[in-house]
Amino acid sequence: MKTHKVTIELSDTDYNLLKEMADASKWPLQEVIMQCIQAGMPPTLSKVPEAFHQDLIALNSMNDRDLMKVADGRWPEPANQTELHRKADFASLRRTYALSLLKWRGHPIIAEDVLL
């Protein structure tokens, strides 16, 4: 796997929190930082059929209020739905993706909001 070196500036507070976590877990600081980055990444579409990617990626440009409407099922369905959309329950997939984006943006997600 190819890696890239990135330099960032952290406040003393953020650095100290990461360093404390590394010391407490006995992990190298770099691993703690990578874990934080990976855990905080936006939702991935790696397990979603390619046919749905564009519709879901478009949700990233929505504001939080509109994403909440999608998550609540109060947003119109895309006009170009196919049999695959219906078979895969695209409405639920889209709602779940919207919830994931909202969580990534820092909104608390209550267990009853999560689609099972």
This prediction's pTM: 0.72
Show Cβ contacts of residue 114 under 8 Å, excluding neighbours closer than 6 positions: 96, 99
Alpha carbons 83 and 49: distance in angstroms, whole number: 13
Nearest to 59 by CA among 102, 21, 19, 20: 102
> According to the model, what pLDDT value does residue 79 have?
84
Q: What is the pLDDT of residues 37-82, one digit of tens each?
A: 988 887 889 989 898 999 999 999 999 999 999 999 999 988 888 8
Query: In which band, very low, low, confident or very high, does the pLDDT at 116 lie, cut at 50, 70 and 90?
Result: very low
* Numbers of helices and strands, H then E, in the chain: 6, 0
Token reading at 10: 């952290």
Helix (H, G, I), strand (E, B) or coil at 109: coil
